[in-house]
Amino acid sequence: MKGLEARFGELLKELRNKKGLTQEELATDCGLDRTYISMLERGLRQPTLTTLFKIAEVLNVSPSSIVKQLE
């Protein structure tokens, strides 16, 4: 079983691609750095709640739906 960080990273990449955004575009829209988005997608970092809410807003999904998909 993959760790939570890896599962979140895969889900983030999937949602970002569905929205048609590059890592750079997502990062800019969230007020984050592209390298941070890259680290999230590779499972090297975990988002704070604030970051999770920012990402969810830009991707037009609810934060709870992201968490639910990780269960």
Determine the Cα–Cα distance for residues 67 and 22; give it in Å rounded to an integer. 22
Task: Return the pLDDT at 56.
Answer: 98
CATH class of residue range 4-70: mainly alpha
Q: What is the pTM of this model?
A: 0.93
Task: Return the pLDDT at 1.
Answer: 57
Task: Return the pLDDT at 2.
Answer: 79
Determine the Cα–Cα distance for residues 6 and 31; give it in Å rounded to an integer. 22
Please tell me what DSSP assigns to residue 26. Answer: H
- Spatial contact of 49 and 20, defined as CB atoms under 8 Å apart: no
pLDDT in tens, the chain (71 residues): 579 999 999 999 999 999 999 999 999 999 999 999 999 999 999 999 999 999 999 999 999 999 999 98
